[in-house]
């Protein structure tokens, strides 16, 4: 059976010397299979200095697979860049076991051999699309795979904002902020703020208030096709910030209108055939472990 991946883009975590070993292992395996590969920048030394350098856009347009070497943060960045192209993404984790990048450096070669023999599991995850509409009625669009977080950029100061879903008023919050999370992001900031863990197969969005002033403001789970609108109290806008995936940070201007909805295209994560989401949860959250054992 011919391998479905012929052109492969490699995306690296910048400024991480440990990526060099993984990069050399990946390129050796791919070239042994006579596959074409490229990288997204040249900051790392490689056994093959002639590898072509391509932008995210070129990788998205020309490659059937993107291998992300880094960790969950690197994969989040790559996912937002590659989302418009539907390029499958395989994550190689350089640090601790990740929720998204689930291939460790020590198993790169055998796992790649499996993938190149089409022994793979491809899982779709949806993203959130955020529209920021300023006082000039100009719309700016931003993507997030994990979460969109409205919060205060000043320490220990609440903000007041109202929330509507599909045009229906839901609540006015006085809180440190709000986490709007996908199932992928339910194990990130949302979990720290008291939100539920949502299985990635569910088509749902969670709204989790951060340190709400009123204790009856609880996390809310809604359909993924819902449109969420946030209106911030005018005097609170100047010290409010919107953060996407913990990586993109936008300082809000007065009268900025925020809309969050599901992005029409999904990303595709490539997993080993024995991938087990619950096994990752048990390992990361230490479920079933007993103190002193």
Residue 15 is a catalytic residue: no
First to last CA, the chain: 47
Phi, psi (deg, nearest 5) at residue 37:
-140, 155
**Cα gap 10→53, rounded to integer Å:** 9
DSSP 103: B
User: Which residues have a Cβ under 8 Å from the Cβ of 4 and sit 6 or more positions away?
Assistant: 64, 118
Tokens 């990069």 -> residue:
23
**Cα gap 97→78, rounded to integer Å:** 18
State the CB neighbour count (10 A cutoff) for residue 145. Answer: 27
**Residue in 15, 72, 225, 245 annotated catalytic:** 72
Do the beta carbons of residue 151 and residue 241 sit within 8 Å?
A: yes
**Cα gap 144→204, rounded to integer Å:** 15
**Cα gap 203→84, rounded to integer Å:** 19
Closest CA to 205 of 217, 220, 187, 188: 220
- Catalytic positions are 72
């Amino acid at each position: 059976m011919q391998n479905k991946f012929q052109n492969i883009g490699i995306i690296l975590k910048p400024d991480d010397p440990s990526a060099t070993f993984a990069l050399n292992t990946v390129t050796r395996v791919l070239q042994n299979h006579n596959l074409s590969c490229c990288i997204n920048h040249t900051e790392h030394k490689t056994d093959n200095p002639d590898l072509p350098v391509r932008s995210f856009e070129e990788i998205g347009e020309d490659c059937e697979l993107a291998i992300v070497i880094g960790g969950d943060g690197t994969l989040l960045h790559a996912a937002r860049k590659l989302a418009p192209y539907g390029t499958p993404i395989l994550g190689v984790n350089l640090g601790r076991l990740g929720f998204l990048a689930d291939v460790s450096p020590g198993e790169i070669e055998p796992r790649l051999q499996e993938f190149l023999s089409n022994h793979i599991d491809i899982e779709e995850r949806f993203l959130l699309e955020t529209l920021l509409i300023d006082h000039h009625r100009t719309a700016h669009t931003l993507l997030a795979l994990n979460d969109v977080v409205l919060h205060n950029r000043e320490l220990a100061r609440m903000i007041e904002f109202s929330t509507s879903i599909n045009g229906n008023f839901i609540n006015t919050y006085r809180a440190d902020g709000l986490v709007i999370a996908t199932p992928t992001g339910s194990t990130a900031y949302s979990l720290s703020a008291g939100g539920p863990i949502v299985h990635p197969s569910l088509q749902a969005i969670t709204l989790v208030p951060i340190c709400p002033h009123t204790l009856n403001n609880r996390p809310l789970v809604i359909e993924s096709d819902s449109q969420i609108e946030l209106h911030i109290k005018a005097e609170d806008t100047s010290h409010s910030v919107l953060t996407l995936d913990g990586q993109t940070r936008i300082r809000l201007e007065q009268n900025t209108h925020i809309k969050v909805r599901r992005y029409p295209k999904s990303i595709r994560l490539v997993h080993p055939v024995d991938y087990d989401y619950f096994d990752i949860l048990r390992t990361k959250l230490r479920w079933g472990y007993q103190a002193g054992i």
